Amino acid sequence: MDAADPLLAIAVDLTRSLAAKDRLERLLESVRRAVPCDAAAVLELVGDELVPLATHGLAPEVLGRRFSRREHPRLDVVVARGAPVRFPSDSSLPDPYDGLLLANPDATRDVHACLGLPLVEGERIIGLLTADALQPGAFDDLGEPFLRMLGALAGAALHTAKLIDALEAASQHHAQVAHVLQREAVMRQGTDQLIGTATAMQRLRREIEIVAPSDFAVLVTGETGVGKELVARSVHRHSPRRDQPLICVNCAALPESIVESELFGHLRGAYTGATSDRAGKFEVADGGTLFLDEIGELPLSVQPKLLRALQEGEIQRVGSDRVQRVNVRVVAATNRDLAAEVEAGRFRADLYHRLNMYPIDVPPLRERRSDIPLLAGFFLDRYRRQLGLGPVRLTESARLALCGADWPGNVRELDHSLGRAVLRAKVAGAPGAPTVIDAGQLQLGGPSPPVVAPRAPSASDAVLVETKGKTLKQVVDETKRAVVLAAVDATGGNWAAAARGLGMARGNLHHMAERLGIRR
């Protein structure tokens, strides 16, 4: 095949109306025809990090990673030189893709050919094209002019893809430059990203794009751990209020005695402990967005004032007769069925309908399993940095275990499971060696302990508690002690299962047991 054919294909694609993702995939196809490689990747330079946009022949979690120039000297060399670089097979510089080539996933630090091309737009380097081959010397016959032309055309393709992304966003928001800068800012923010390309995540992003420019109240629903706060932050970030504050309030963490003060503020002397005037969260968020997490836990007594703030934009501090006007966009979140809470009389119907002006349901992880490798790569890279480790990767068995798990705790559970696995793998590995996580270290495949609901105490049980000569507190403590011991006994000594059966958090059950003298 003529070496110019792949270059011609890239040049022709530059004139076609292709989506950015399709353009980058076709770019890699052309690169593989031009360069004899087992793996290739297109990375965008964002600040001092290289962000993978498209890959071939590499483990899927690579797309979830960020490659710092400081931590990956081979990539840094290519950026610094601004010219094609062929690394010798005996190079002492670590390869950023060690152990991640699908052609040979079980080996690390193999002798192989590595090539890096800077992608240039004008005089500015905007990214890199990398190619790896297991055969040493695979790139030796590629001429310097050919490589420079390949890099120039690939850079033009990446630049075109970025322009298309920016123009598509600008068609909705009429601010091309602002949206490009915002996209780059989101890439830098790390934990604020909604990671995933599954159909369910594409629908979620579309819903956010639709509602964000408005001032509609948004009700974000979904199971625990799916990322409802990230959705709220994304709504704010894509809204005209993006330059104003986003204030977050966890309604479940506020005692009923102070929730009104926290939301609406108070005057000095309004109640015991109010030693000075204090602004509430609505005042602090004026002009911006207020995120009310766990809104289903909000006491009924406060709900009428919240409704007034939503409908009229008016609030009153506790202890004040003066009405203040605020301009706040409210985004609320819950894992409860608020419609059922309304039916049960625990939530006001008018407030529910006002909050539910634009509902967004966040999909559970089991409905977007194709995103698990990307999320895994993102979390592993974050833990690698936190722990100061070298390369961290998954074995194929670990990857299959992750994709096959049920994840009742969703993305949060995936995150924490990977964090524990990294620690286990770090201890098990040799000093200085890559950290390799296998399925056993994930501890996902074992059978779950049986959840046995403890038998609730009956009226006859209560009679068995001797009350004569005892205070009410002593009788209550003895009854609690009997119920806890019965629950633990019914679950075979499994305190976690006993807590679930009692409807309590495990930590709260442990604290209660210590207070009751059951365990130390």
CATH number at residue 31: 3.30.450.40
Residue 296 included in any domain: yes
Question: How does DSSP classify residue 84?
Answer: -
| Residues 43 and 99 occupy one common structural domain | yes
Which residue type, as a one-letter code, is found at position 321? D
| Residues 392 and 437 occupy one common structural domain | yes
Mean pLDDT of 273-296: 88
Mean pLDDT of 227-248: 93
Residue 75, pLDDT above cutoff 80: yes
**What's the pLDDT score for residue 9?**
57
| Residues 478 and 421 occupy one common structural domain | no
- pLDDT tens by residue, 400-423: 999 989 999 999 999 999 999 999
What's the CA gap between 40 and 55, in Å, rounded?
Answer: 6
| Residues 314 and 389 occupy one common structural domain | no
Strands 324-325 and 314-315 come out as antiparallel
**pLDDT band for position 178 (cuts 50, 70, 90):** very low
Pairwise pLDDT comparison (5 vs 193), residue with the higher score: 193
Compute the C-alpha angle 217/220/225, nearest 5°.
155
**Are the beta carbons of 354 and 175 closer than 8 angstroms?**
no
| Residues 316 and 225 occupy one common structural domain | yes
Taking alpha carbons only, the member of 364, 236, 228, 197 closest to residue 296 is: 228
Mean pLDDT of 382-409: 90
44: left (phi > 0), else alpha (psi -120 to 50), else beta? beta
Name the domain count of the chain.
4
**What's the pLDDT score for residue 310?**
93
Question: How does DSSP classify residue 101?
Answer: B
Mean pLDDT of 350-373: 95
Mean pLDDT of 328-333: 96
End-to-end C-alpha distance for the chain, whole angstroms? 76
What's the CA gap between 428 and 247, in Å, rounded?
Answer: 42
Angle between helices 20-34 and 144-173 (to 10 degrees): 170
What's the CA gap between 187 and 279, in Å, rounded?
Answer: 34
Mean pLDDT of 74-78: 94
Q: What are phi and psi of 411, to 5 degrees?
A: -65, -35
Alpha carbon of residue 54 to chain centroid: 20
Residue 84, pLDDT above cutoff 50: yes
Residue 244 included in any domain: yes
> Is residue 291 helix, strand or coil?
strand
> Is residue 150 helix, strand or coil?
helix
| Residues 209 and 290 occupy one common structural domain | yes
Instruction: Read off the CATH number of the domain in which 383 is found.
Output: 1.10.8.60
The highest-confidence range among 25-39, 52-66, 199-213, by mean pLDDT, is 199-213
Last-in-domain residue among 361, 393, 428: 361
| Residues 278 and 400 occupy one common structural domain | no
Residue 53 included in any domain: yes
Rounded to the nearest integer, the mean pLDDT of the chain is 81
| Residues 39 and 142 occupy one common structural domain | yes
Last-in-domain residue among 117, 149, 168: 168
Residue 189 included in any domain: no
Instruction: Read off the CATH number of the domain in which 242 is found.
Output: 3.40.50.300
The token pair that represents 346 in the structure block: 């625990």
What's the CA gap between 195 and 239, in Å, rounded?
Answer: 19
What's the CA gap between 157 and 121, in Å, rounded?
Answer: 10
Taking alpha carbons only, the member of 137, 107, 152 closest to residue 37 is: 137
Domain span including residue 143: 4-168
Which residue type, as a one-letter code, is found at position 183? R
Residue 328, pLDDT above cutoff 70: yes
Mean pLDDT of 418-433: 86
Which residue type, as a one-letter code, is found at position 274? A
| Residues 430 and 399 occupy one common structural domain | yes
Residue 339, pLDDT above cutoff 60: yes
CA dihedral defined by 337, 338, 342, 346, rounded to 10 degrees? 90
Instruction: Read off the CATH number of the domain in which 478 is found.
Output: 1.10.10
| Residues 326 and 228 occupy one common structural domain | yes
User: 152-186: string of b/e by CB count within 10 Å (b at 16+)?
Assistant: bbbbbbbbbbbebbbeebeeeeeeeeebbebeeeb
Taking alpha carbons only, the member of 207, 214, 215, 208 closest to residue 235 is: 208
Residue 77, pLDDT above cutoff 50: yes
**What's the pLDDT score for residue 279?**
85
| Residues 228 and 324 occupy one common structural domain | yes
Pairwise pLDDT comparison (143 vs 464), residue with the higher score: 143
Last-in-domain residue among 391, 417, 442: 442
Residue 323 included in any domain: yes
The token pair that represents 33 in the structure block: 């025809």
**What's the pLDDT score for residue 499?**
77
Residue 186 included in any domain: no
Residue 174 included in any domain: no
Residue 17 included in any domain: yes
**What's the pLDDT score for residue 111?**
58
| Residues 352 and 331 occupy one common structural domain | yes
What's the CA gap between 4 and 10, in Å, rounded?
Answer: 10
Mean pLDDT of 118-129: 86
